[in-house]
Structure 1
Amino acid sequence: MKIENLDELRVALACADTGSLTASAARLHISPAAASAALKKLEARLGARLFERSTRSMRITAEGELFTGYARRALDLLSEGQAQLSEGGAQLLGTVRLAAPSDLTRRVLLDWLDDFLHAHPGVELQLAVSDSLADVVRDQVDVALRYGELDDSRLVARRLLTTRRVLCAAPAYLARHGAPQHPSELSQHECLSFMVRGRRLLQWPFTRSDGREQLTVRVHGRRSVDDAEIAHRWALAGHGLICKSEVDLHADLASGALVRVLPDWQGITMPLHAVLPSNRFVPARVRALIDALAQRCQQSGMGLDERRPAPASLPSTP
Structure 2
Amino acid sequence: MDHLQAMRLFARIVELGSFTAAASDLDLPRATATHAIRALEARLGTQLLQRTTRRVRPTRDGEAYYAHCRRLLADVEEMEGSLRDANRHPRGRLRVDLPTALARVVVIPALPRFLARHPEIELELSTSDRFVDLVREGVDCVLRTGELPDSGLVGRRVALLPQVTVASAAYVRRHGRPASLAELARGHLAVNWKSPTHQRCEPLEFVVGRRRREVTLPGPVTVSGVEAYFACCEAGLGIAQFPRYRLAGCLAKGRLLELLPDAPPPPLPLSVLYPAQRHLPLRLRVFVDWLAELMGQV
* 8 Å contact kept, 2:19–2:34: no
Task: Provide structure 2 residue ranges, at least 5 long, that are not aligned to the other structure.
Answer: none
Q: How does 1:29-40 map to 2 (within 5 A)?
A: 31=32, 34-40=35-41
| C-alpha separation in 2, matches of 1:148 and 1:295 | 19
Aligned to 1:260: 258
Cα deviation, residue 242, structure 1: 1.0
Aligned to 1:295: 293
Cα deviation, residue 263, structure 1: 1.0
Percent identical across equivalent pairs? 26
Aligned to 1:189: 188
| C-alpha separation in 2, matches of 1:84 and 1:21 | 32
Aligned length: 287
Secondary structure of the corresponding residue to residue 237 of structure 2 = coil
Calculate the aligned-residue CA RMSD, in Å.
4.1
Amino acid at match of 1:95: R
* 8 Å contact kept, 1:80–1:94: no
State whether structure 2 residue 56 is matched by structure 1 residue 59: yes
Secondary structure of the corresponding residue to residue 281 of structure 1 = coil
Distance 1:39 1:173, change over 3 A: farther
Q: How does 1:131-280 map to 2 (within 5 A)?
A: 131-152=129-150, 155-184=153-182, 185-186=184-185, 188-196=187-195, 197-208=197-208, 210-211=209-210, 215-278=213-276, 280=278
Cα deviation, residue 155, structure 1: 4.3
Deviations 1:141-186 (A, max 9, x none): 3222222333438643322111243211222322233212223424
| C-alpha separation in 2, matches of 1:30 and 1:118 | 40
* 8 Å contact kept, 2:153–2:274: yes
Q: Determine which structure has greater relative contact order: mean sequence separation of CA pairs < 8 Å that are 6+ residues apart, divided by chain length.
A: 2
| C-alpha separation in 1, matches of 2:124 and 2:18 | 21
| C-alpha separation in 2, matches of 1:18 and 1:155 | 20
| C-alpha separation in 1, matches of 2:23 and 2:292 | 39
Deviations 1:38-64 (A, max 9, x none): 45369x59x995x4314x564245959
Cα deviation, residue 98, structure 1: 2.0
Distance 1:101 1:38, change over 3 A: farther
TM-score normalised by the chain length of structure 1: 0.71
Distance 1:207 1:82, change over 3 A: closer
Cα deviation, residue 109, structure 1: 2.1
Distance 1:201 1:106, change over 3 A: farther
Secondary structure of the corresponding residue to residue 188 of structure 1 = coil
TM-score normalised by the chain length of structure 2: 0.75
Aligned to 1:282: 280
Cα deviation, residue 296, structure 1: 1.5
Aligned to 1:305: none
| C-alpha separation in 2, matches of 1:70 and 1:138 | 17
